[in-house]
Every structure is written in C-alpha cells, then in structure tokens.
Amino acid sequence: MQSKSRNPLEKDVRKKRKPYVHDQKKRNEILCQGFSKDKIPSDLDAIIVGSGIGGLTTAALLAKSGKRVLVLEQHDQAGGCCHSFIDKGYEFDVGIHYIGQLNSPTINRTLCDQITEGQLEWEPLNPDYDVVSIGFGEENRKYLVKTDLQEWKNYLKTEFPEERSGIEKYFELVLSCNKSTTLMGILKLTPLWLVKLVLWTGLLKRFTKLWSKVFLTKTMDVVNELTTNKDLQTIFTYCWGDYGTPPSRSNFNMQAMLNRHFSECGASYPIGGASEIAFSIIPVIEKTGGRVLVRANVTEITTRGDKVCGVKVEKGGDKIEILAPIIISSAGVYNTFQSLLPKELSSKSYFTDIARTLKPGVASMSIFIGLNVSNDEIESKKQNVWSFPVNNTDQAALDYFDLSAEEAMTAEVPLLFISFPSTKDPEWANHPGRSDKSTLALVTLANWEWFKDWKDKGVKKRGDAYKELKDCIGHQMVEHTLKLFPELRDKIDYVEIGSPVTNNHYLAAPHGEIYGLDHCSERFDPLMIAKLRPETDIPGLYLTGQDILSCGFTGALFSGILTAQACLGRNVMADLINLHKKINSDKKKVE
C-alpha cells in the first residue's frame, strides 16, 4: 500500500452544507448496511475491525488516498460511541456529549471537514459549558467552568480570594504542557528502537519539560500541593470522569490536556445528533468502492505464517474469511491481542504484555431519560452539570468502587454527569414528533466486578438479580439528579438504563469500560506512549482508536491520522497541517 499512496488531504473539499432534513430512512440506509457475502468489495486494500471514530477516520483518509477499505462493525449500527438509538419517539446519543476545538477554524475542524466533505456542522454550547455542583439542598455550591482559561482563572480567584496563588500556579501548569500531544504523536511514529535510544541517552529531557517531575506526578498530588481547599480541589479535577481515572491514579498531563481542550473555542455538539458523524463519513469511504457493514461479528484475525492476511466473520453459523494485505483493528488492545489474534502469534507481541500490564478503564453506567415536555419548558441550558455529593471526590470514588454489588445498590453515586442532549441540538424540534419532547442523559462510573457474571447472557435474558442491581443503581442516579432538578420528577416519561454489561454487548468493551486502557500515570510513561502506536510488531497489523493515543472523540479522531500515516507511508499529519494553513490563508485573503 505504501508505494502507491497519494496525499489524502491535498485540497479543500468543504462544500456548502446541504440544508438539514431529518430523513430516518436515509440515515438507516447509510448506517445500518447489514453484512452479507455479496456486499464484500473485491480487491480490498485494507479491512478495519470496528466503526468507532478512529476506524472511520482511518478508513476515510485511506479512501481519500484512493484505497478501497472495508469497515466491519459487530453492532447493528455504525459509529461505535458515535451511534444513537431511538425508542418511543426519543433519540439518545450513547457517547457524544460535547467536544472541544470545533467552533472555529482549528486543525481539528479542518480534519473533521475533510473526512465528512464539509457536511457535518457543530453547535456551540454555552461559554460556561460545565457546572461543578457540590452537595445538595442548602449545602449545594455551584461553580462555573468558563471556556477562556484567563476568564476561568479570574472567576475562581473571585470565588476563592484566599487561594489566588494556588489558582495562578494551577493554570501555569496547565498551559506549560501545551505541546504534549504533538510530542506524543512524534514518539508513536518514530521507530521504536530510536525512541529507546533517545530515552536511554536522556536527550528527550534536554529538549522538553513534558516529563519533568510535575508531569510524572499524579493529578491529586499536584493539586494537593497547590491548595487544601476541598471545593477548589474538586473544581481543578472535576472532569476526571471524561477519561475515567481517579485523580490519585491519573497523570497530571492528561488532566491538563483535557482542561486545555475546551479553552480555545469552547465546547460543541454535532447538529442533528451524534449519528450524523458516521452518516457524513461513510459516503467518503464508499467513493472509492469501500463499504461499512454492520452485524459483522469478526471472530478472528487470520494469518499466514507470522503475517496477518484477513479476518473471519461469523454469519448464520458459518465463518466467512475476507482477505486484505492490511488489517486495522479499532477494537482495542484487549480485544485484538487477547481474543482476535491466534494465541501462538499474539504471545510473541509486546502488545500482549501491555494488555497484561495496563488495567482497563473504569466501567460506566448510563441512563437515558425521555421528558414529556419541550426544551423550552424545562428551561435547560446548553451546558453539562458535574455533580458531587461531597468535595472529596477522589476518595469517595475509590470507596465506591470497593463496595460489593449489594452495597452499591443503596449507595450514593460519588460522581454524576448530567446533560440535556436535546437542548444542545438546534434541529431537535424539527424532527417529526419531537416538538413536545426533550431528553436527559446521566452517566456515572461503576465496578465491572458487580456485573461481569452476566456478560455472556443475552439482552433481556439476564434475570431478576441483574435487573435488580441495574435498577437500584439507576434509581440512585435518578434520585441524585432530582435533588438538583426537582421540577423534572413528574415529567419523566421514559427511562432506559445501560450497565457495564450493556457496554460489553453493544460496544464490545470487554470490561464494560468506555475509555479503553486506563489513563493511569503508567500509560503516560514516554516508553509506554511510544509502544502504544498504530504499527504493531506483527506484519500487516495496525491499530487505531483511543488505545493508541488517548480517550474520547478527539483522541480517537487523531489516532486515525496516525494510523493512516503508518499505513500509507507518507506524512499525513504534515498534509493536514499544510492544508489547514492554506485554508486559513485563503480565508484571510477573501476577508
């Protein structure tokens, strides 16, 4: 593939966005193309396992370079965590709540425009895109999170005048690692032997401060040195649920990257809902003869000698082998090296050792609530609420994860993400039958051990014990929310609870996690960063998705760039940077 590659990002392909029309039939035709033998393209250049944003981005970039790519998705809808579901007239996103760096001409926006042909638009959230809520009732304190870091810093100094020094230092640390993502990408694309040599000689430390003491320190340790005020500590670390690792175990660099992510141009939401993402990307893949097929359960990556050569898809009791010179797994390190590859081959790979060394991210619980009133009637804002019963969120979370399943059924959840997705979408009310409906989404973290005994049971066939556990934790989440929004109690019309087992079934998350490998401090060791790369030590096998960069939409999005670069043998990141500069230069000339 490498010798024939061409620039996938050589021109500005943005087009005037077509007027938005909600066409569910057309959306299903694009997103739900079921797998069958007759739909498999011939002369494939690559097969991608999994249709999350990492897999779709990789596929789109390869397609724009002229390659024919087949994307296989085990679920009945493409998109991974970008998919949505509809029930009783309500539509819910399962994983997209807000994304940064898409409301202005950033390089992230340029990339998204390229892989969607400019047909995906983003709606800005409030400048105060998050609210940190601590405690309930008369003890409740609410603090705003502002887009502009300087404004947020000044606001916190007003709220905590006695903590000015610690606040100033915190934001200095956040800004001091602003080049970390670039360096992470370089380490992943530099030959591993050279990375080891550079680390051994200590040269990396001479040219960057990114692995100085503070960035090797756990988030909670950094924050403890800055302030003893528990409310302020909670605010500094409030969004650790966005990567799923408690502050006492996470690397400060990860926390700083997340704080900066929204600071350039705020948070945004895909107009039309999360499924518009895959809906806009798939036609790009199809232009060169590729396909994105669902209900395609890949059971094995096949090999010839020590090289991968294809995959096997289970269909109707048969296993259909599909061949291609390049196999790209967007299914995560665990699934790829513990389940899909033959044991005799995976055992030779250092990625198998990584799968044993790094823990999975924390599992999650989600609740999707339909409200029988319009967005206007609930007066919700385009922002999210992060609610904590107490201001010692790290210890509260660790204590919660240590509970037994029986204890968790009656325990207060230590962290709850509360969002009103329908409010964020300006097209919501234009969908047929939704003018008098709105939606509420709740997310918390959970312990996989509580649920793992039901992972092999079918949907709706997990029995009363499972339902009782899921419903009891769900009840705690709903009651937690109603303490903050009591006016919603008589407006709840629909409730669907998703457990870690739900994530396992629909997202193929082996431990019910939504962020892949745990974002612990060990993962951000320079050598581990370099090892978690798109090109594996097995010929023909590549990885993409959040495990090789970082979690969330943006981490997986840019993993697609890294994987396409490794497969094509050309500097696709430089292609993107050059195109981005040209687009902005042309725009300035017009202005």
| Cα–Cα distance, 49 to 298 (Å, whole number) | 7
Percent of the chain with pLDDT over 90: 81
pLDDT of residue 204: 75
pLDDT digits (tens, 9 = 90+) for 93-125: 999 999 999 988 899 999 999 999 999 999 999
Q: Tell me which fold the domain 7-13+24-86+105-121+272-358+517-590 belongs to.
A: FAD/NAD(P)-binding domain (3.50.50)
pLDDT digits (tens, 9 = 90+) for 55-97: 999 999 999 999 999 999 999 999 999 999 999 999 999 999 9
Q: 226-231 contacts: CB < 8 A, separation 24 or more?
A: 226/166, 226/167, 226/169, 226/170, 227/163, 227/166, 227/167, 229/160, 229/163, 229/166, 230/391, 230/392, 231/134, 231/141, 231/143, 231/160, 231/391
pLDDT digits (tens, 9 = 90+) for 547-569: 999 999 999 999 999 999 999 99
Whether the predicted pLDDT of 239 surpasses 70: yes
Whether the predicted pLDDT of 50 surpasses 70: yes
pLDDT of residue 4: 54
pLDDT of residue 123: 95
pLDDT of residue 590: 61
Residue type present at position 473: I
| Cα–Cα distance, 567 to 65 (Å, whole number) | 11
443-468: average pLDDT: 94
5-34: average pLDDT: 85
pLDDT-derived band at 211 (thresholds 50, 70, 90) equals low
Whether the predicted pLDDT of 214 surpasses 80: no
| 3-class secondary structure, 491 | helix
pLDDT digits (tens, 9 = 90+) for 162-210: 999 999 999 999 988 776 778 888 889 899 999 999 888 887 777 776 6
pLDDT of residue 479: 98
Q: What is the DSSP string of 218-248?
A: BHHHHHHHH---HHHHHHHHGGGGGTT--TT
- Helix and strand counts by DSSP (H, E) for the chain: 24, 20
Element (H, E) at 201: helix 192-201
Contact 375, 422 (CB under 8 A): yes
Whether the predicted pLDDT of 467 surpasses 60: yes
Residue type present at position 537: D
- Which residue from 170, 175, 327 is spatially nearest to 260, judged by alpha carbons? 175
Greater confidence, 24 or 534? Answer: 534
Residue type present at position 548: I
- Which residue from 303, 361, 420, 406 is spatially nearest to 312, judged by alpha carbons? 303
Domain ranges of the chain: 7-13+24-86+105-121+272-358+517-590
Strand partners for 241:
none
Percent of the chain with pLDDT over 70: 97
How far is the CA of 171 from the CAs of 94, 284, 370, 590, in angstroms? 32, 40, 39, 36
Q: Where are the beta strands (DSSP E) in 267-315?
A: 267-270, 291-293, 297-304, 307-315
Whether the predicted pLDDT of 10 surpasses 90: no
User: Among the listed ranges 10-19, 184-193, 347-356, 565-574, which one has the minimum average pLDDT value?
Assistant: 10-19
446-459 burial: b if 16+ Cβ within 10 Å, else e: bbbebbbebeeeee
Whether the predicted pLDDT of 267 surpasses 90: yes
Whether the predicted pLDDT of 591 surpasses 60: no
pLDDT of residue 215: 67
Whether the predicted pLDDT of 3 surpasses 70: no
For residue 528, give every residue at least 6 positions away whose Cβ sits within 8 Å of its Cβ, in sequence order, or none.
Answer: 354, 358, 522
| Cα–Cα distance, 452 to 361 (Å, whole number) | 15
Whether the predicted pLDDT of 2 surpasses 60: no
pLDDT of residue 21: 79
pLDDT of residue 454: 96
Tokens matching residue 56: 């779709």
Whether the predicted pLDDT of 319 surpasses 70: yes
pLDDT of residue 107: 94
265-274: average pLDDT: 93
Q: 261-264 contacts: CB < 8 A, separation 24 or more?
A: 261/100, 261/101, 261/554, 262/98, 262/100, 262/101, 262/129, 262/147, 263/100, 263/147, 263/148, 263/149, 264/100, 264/101, 264/104, 264/106
Contact 130, 386 (CB under 8 A): yes
Q: What is the mean pLDDT of the chain?
A: 93
pLDDT-derived band at 223 (thresholds 50, 70, 90) equals very high
